[in-house]
Amino acid sequence: MKRVDETSPTQKLVQWVVDSQWADVDVTTKTSVTSSWMNWLACALGGAGSTDSDRLIRALAPFGHGEAKIIGRAEKFDPANAALIHAFTSNILDFDDTHWPTGIHPAGTVASALVAWSSQINVSGEDFLHAFLLGMEVECRIGLAVSPGHYERGWHITATCGVFGAAIAVGHLMRLEPQQMAWALGHAATKSSGLVASLGTMAKSLNIAHAARNGLMAAQLAKHCITANDRVLEARFGFCEVMGSRPLDEGLCAGLGQNWIASHNTFKPYPCGFLLHPTLEACLTIADAPILALDDIERIMVTVHPLSQLRADRIHPVDGLESKLSLQHAVAIALLTGKAGVRGFTDDAANDLVVHAWREKIRLIADERLNTDEARVDIHLQSGRVITRASGGAQPPMSAQALEHKFCELVAFGAPHCNSDKLLEALARFPQMANAADLIAMTVSQS
């Protein structure tokens, strides 16, 4: 097949993907993608043993038999359903990664599809990481092209753009030619879906799960030369026109291979929606000095960006899933316990009567002068004193030590049969591994 038309943004993007070489990626970006892989695996292991994941496995049991291993579990499925399961388990705790400019959790769909496909063929650790990087890069660039209107209108951007990342990543492992890769994006675009209305339910994680499976299938269809619109990003009635808020600009392909958008991926320190994190940061600085009792508090005013209020004004979440998207719950847990870990966002925590009473004291204020990564908490005491804390700006990168601590915490929570120390040793040598599936095999439950 001939090289594609590089005057087309879609085709220029896929030509770059096909031509990309791991040797040309800078060391800083390689380190970043390795950390993203560790964080994703931690989240997948943390969610592997959840009751929600159990339900999904039972629902899929009559379908999709195969030999693809499932991280942290004993079951096996076909690759497409394995991709779906992995994306679900890695997101169900809401502890995954975040690309702040778009709100995308980049690793979820991409790693899930790659792990599933790697069960079929021998993929080296280096090739796996390269495909992982390319998939995250493409989905984030497409996300930027349709932001901010796309997410603000109610599209679940991790799912709608994540399907492109999964297609690109698997397509790269398949060694698709440029025309096939363009078809893969065409198939991914027409399968793109996911509504913000699903947030607070298991369907939210299924949005991401379907995107992982659909992306894998898009690459498989293109591999067999099943055609699709090969200019789908810029086409009339294509993805950017239908799903975006402005015409597709040259930024989509600007700095390809030099300015790695995916290297700015961040990792959640708290297992809840990323829009809650600035408020948690402010609350935890107050909680560092335990001076508060509920009876001492008249009211708690929380000021956030309007989008944060729109997405997370849920004063009494009904369960753990919804609590992960409740600003009131996050504030209550942080001030009451002085921390915000996995157990603070469970069904038990959401229905705790003491937490309920704390949430009753909290009121939200939307302030369009704030950015989404800013928040202010004002605690009005019965004495008339007001305690104020604010947070703002990009969160500092999670240190290597903090990421390893998070990894061990999640392994212990969701996959206690695994040896976290041995897994960390394997992750350290993952780029040199001859077969990425060897690492996955280390996580599989024998029961």
Q: How confident is the model at residue 4 (pLDDT cuts 50, 70, 90)?
A: low
What are the φ/ψ torsions at residue 5 (nearest 5 degrees)? -80, 110
- Report the distance separating Cα 358 and Cα 295, nearest Å: 10
The token duo for 143 is 């996300």
Within a domain: 4: no
- Do 301 and 407 fall within a single domain? no
- Do 237 and 287 fall within a single domain? no
Question: Dmax over Cα atoms in the chain, in whole Å?
Answer: 76
- Do 370 and 423 fall within a single domain? no
Computed from CA positions of residues 138, 142, 145, 149, in that sequence, does the dihedral angle turn out positive or negative?
Answer: negative
Residue 289 has a pLDDT of 61
Residue 7 has a pLDDT of 85
Half-sphere exposure of 403 (CA within 13 A, CB side): 21
In the predicted model, what is the mean pLDDT of residues 174-188?
97
- Report the distance separating Cα 345 and Cα 318, nearest Å: 11
Q: How confident is the model at residue 197 (pLDDT cuts 50, 70, 90)?
A: very high
Looking at the predicted structure, is the pLDDT value of residue 312 above 90?
yes
- Do 99 and 179 fall within a single domain? yes
Residue 394 has a pLDDT of 67
Percent of the chain beyond pLDDT 90? 88
- Do 323 and 412 fall within a single domain? no
- Do 287 and 214 fall within a single domain? no
Q: What share of the chain is helix, strand, coil (3-state, %, to 5)?
A: 55, 10, 35
Q: Residue 55 to residues 47, 58, 89, 418: CA-CA distances in angstroms?
A: 12, 5, 11, 22
- Do 352 and 413 fall within a single domain? no
Q: How confident is the model at residue 443 (pLDDT cuts 50, 70, 90)?
A: very high
What is the pLDDT of the chain when averaged over all its residues? 94
- Report the distance separating Cα 275 and Cα 103, nearest Å: 9
What are the φ/ψ torsions at residue 66 (nearest 5 degrees)? -170, -165
Residue 305 has a pLDDT of 96
Query: Contact, 175 vs 123, CB < 8 A?
Result: no
Q: How confident is the model at residue 251 (pLDDT cuts 50, 70, 90)?
A: confident
Residue 292 has a pLDDT of 75
In the predicted model, what is the mean pLDDT of residues 350-373?
95
Task: With H, G, I as helix, E, B as strand and everything else as coil, classify residue 304.
Answer: strand
Buried-state track 169-186, b at ≥16 Cβ within 10 A, e below 16: bbbbbbebbbbbbbbbbb
Residue 248 has a pLDDT of 86
Strand partners, 362: 300
What is the distance of C-alpha 120 from the center of its chain? Answer: 24
Which of 391, 412, 427 lies at the terminal end of a domain, its last residue? 391
Are β-strands 375-381 and 362-366 bridged in parallel, bridged antiparallel, or unpaired? unpaired
- Do 188 and 139 fall within a single domain? yes
Within a domain: 66: yes
Query: Contact, 342 vs 295, CB < 8 A?
Result: no
- Report the distance separating Cα 345 and Cα 323, nearest Å: 6
In the predicted model, what is the mean pLDDT of residues 137-159?
94
Query: Contact, 48 vs 414, CB < 8 A?
Result: yes
Looking at the predicted structure, is the pLDDT value of residue 107 above 80?
yes
Q: Which amino acid is at 297?
A: I
Closest among 417, 106, 156 to 263, alpha carbons compared: 106
In the predicted model, what is the mean pLDDT of residues 52-59?
96
Residue 392 has a pLDDT of 82
CATH code for the domain of 360: 3.30.1330.120
Q: Is the peptide bond before 178 cis (omega within 30 degrees of 0)?
A: no
Element (H, E) at 215: helix 202-223
Query: Contact, 100 vs 274, CB < 8 A?
Result: yes
CATH code for the domain of 203: 1.10.4100.10
Q: How confident is the model at residue 176 (pLDDT cuts 50, 70, 90)?
A: very high
- Do 258 and 333 fall within a single domain? no
Query: Contact, 22 vs 199, CB < 8 A?
Result: no
In the predicted model, what is the mean pLDDT of residues 399-421?
95
Q: How confident is the model at residue 181 (pLDDT cuts 50, 70, 90)?
A: very high
Residue 446 has a pLDDT of 82
Number of domains in the chain: 2
Q: Bigger pLDDT: 288 or 135? A: 135
- Do 108 and 248 fall within a single domain? yes
Within a domain: 447: no
Q: How confident is the model at residue 445 (pLDDT cuts 50, 70, 90)?
A: confident
Task: With H, G, I as helix, E, B as strand and everything else as coil, classify residue 207.
Answer: helix
- Do 56 and 205 fall within a single domain? yes
In the predicted model, what is the mean pLDDT of residues 277-302?
85
What is the 8-class DSSP label of residue 142?
H
Q: Which domain holds residue 35?
A: 9-269+401-441
Task: With H, G, I as helix, E, B as strand and everything else as coil, classify residue 303.
Answer: strand
